[in-house]
Chains A and B, each alone.
Chain A
Amino acid sequence: MADNNKRNAGFLGSIATAPSTDEFIKGLWRDNPVFVQVLGMCPVLAVSNTAENALAMGLATTFVLLMSNILVSSLRNFIPKQVRIASYILIIATFVTIIDYVIQAISIELHKSLGAFISLIVVNCLILSRAEAFASKNTIGKSILDALGMGVGFTFALFCLGAVRELLGNGSLFDYSLFPANFQNWIVMILPAGGFFTLAIWLLLFNSMKKKE
């Protein structure tokens, strides 16, 4: 792990003006957007009913986060302070429209199962909060690292939820059946209520781990 970190620092550090892997690492664990900051809950709960949906949603969000962070950071000296939130939202909406059409082109099926939640990436508080709290104050290199870290952390959290819900609710993972045929599916995990319960239990785990530290 330590070795890995060093390599990352060498590669990514050359992009950033101040070489630091901290911007990347913090999103994964210490400031995990879902488990610690509790941001962007709507897509987390809504599309985490299967592992595949969760992963697709996580990747789409990471793309939008990355692009909007780059653009906001490079325009940070040109956007007047009074209209900054409106401009951020417009930037985000543009990239969401792009990814919406991209997903439609790649797989109609996936587009159908994610439904309106792709468009709803626009109002994911995570993206706006990174634009406002980080990208508008930092260099492009740092903003890229920040976006990647947060994006991967978000995808990881979504996957954690999606995997548990699909495994218990459907007895499968990525559509591969894992349990013997006589396994009784926990239907409730696929239903909305299951989303709330699973997230609550993951939060409990995170809380108790933090307590021990």
Chain B
Amino acid sequence: MQEESLWYIFINASLVNNFVLAYFLGICPFLGVSGKMDTASKMGAAVTFVMLISSMCAYGIHAFLVAINAPFLQLISFIVVIASTVQLVEMFIKKMSPTLFRALGIFLPLITTNCAILGLALFQTSKGYGFVESVVYALGAGAGFTLALVLIAGLREQLDFAEVPDVVKGTALTLLIAGILSLSFMGFAGLGS
């Protein structure tokens, strides 16, 4: 029973209620770094990692804030934790792979303002998930984010060779594709329950 519900949390976060295509969280990097397959998948990995860490921290913080009865500090402490995690990841990537660091560019520090991560922390507290459930939820959300990013990057790589009218080029076209992707993701409704 326990395993089943964890599986459900994962499927729900990654496919049924995909963070990008159903909740509109993390649209900025979704539109910004989805031009190339390679960058997109690495961005997805970075975001998943930050999600995992901040989800664990958010669980601890929430428990602490409930204990000292100060729920109004929730938002501020979440964002501080996320910002420091991002800083950590940034230093790590800069050291390990300067090429990737340049490819991600401004979007790396902007992970801090990626709604998907703060959204994850807020959703898991409002749903009252325990520690294990939170971790699974973070993994699912990260997987869903990466999937959406990679899918759209693949489509956009192909579209570079297609002939489209000038006005449609750029963001408008990406949004149209995202709309169609979102429609197709609705087909997952009811899965895993």
Which residues of A approach B to under 8 Å, CB–CB? Answer: 38-39, 41-42, 45-46, 85-86, 89-90, 93-94, 96-97, 100-101, 116, 119-120, 122-125, 128, 188, 191-197, 199-201, 203-204, 207-208, 211
Contacts and interface: CB of A to CB of B under 8 A. Distances in A.
Contacts of B21: 192
A197 B178 CA distance: 8
A93 B186 CA distance: 33
Given A123-B118, A207-B172, A89 B24 contact: no
B69 interface: no
Contact of A196 (B80, B83, B168, B179): B179
Interface string B22-35: 11111110010000
Closest 10 CB pairs of A and B: A196-B179, A200-B175, A41-B27, A45-B24, A46-B24, A193-B182, A203-B172, A42-B115, A123-B113, A193-B183
Nearest to A89: B79
A155 to B, nearest CB: 18
Contacts of A101: 72
Given A96-B75, A122-B118, A208 B167 contact: yes
Nearest to A197: B179
Contact of B118 (A120, A195, A211): A120
Given A46-B24, A125-B113, A203-B172, A116 B123 contact: yes
B33 to A, nearest CB: 14
A85 B109 contact: yes
Given A116-B122, A122-B79, 15 more contacts: A42-B25, A97-B72, A100-B75, A101-B72, A120-B25, A120-B119, A123-B79, A124-B115, A191-B182, A191-B183, A192-B24, A193-B186, A196-B175, A196-B176, A199-B175
A203 B170 CA distance: 10
Contacts of A204: 167-168, 172
A97 B113 CA distance: 16
A201 B83 CA distance: 35
Contacts of A211: 166-167
19 contacts: A39-B28, A41-B31, A42-B25, A89-B83, A90-B79, A97-B72, A97-B76, A101-B72, A123-B79, A123-B112, A123-B113, A123-B118, A193-B182, A197-B176, A199-B175, A200-B172, A200-B175, A204-B168, A208-B167
Contacts of B79: 89-90, 93, 122-123
B158 interface: no
A191 B186 contact: yes
Contacts of A45: 24, 27
A165 B72 CA distance: 34
B171 interface: yes
B45 to A, nearest CB: 20
Nearest to A129: B113
Contact of A200 (B22, B26, B123, B179): B179
Contacts of B25: 42, 46, 120
Contact of A195 (B24, B72, B173): B24
B126 interface: yes
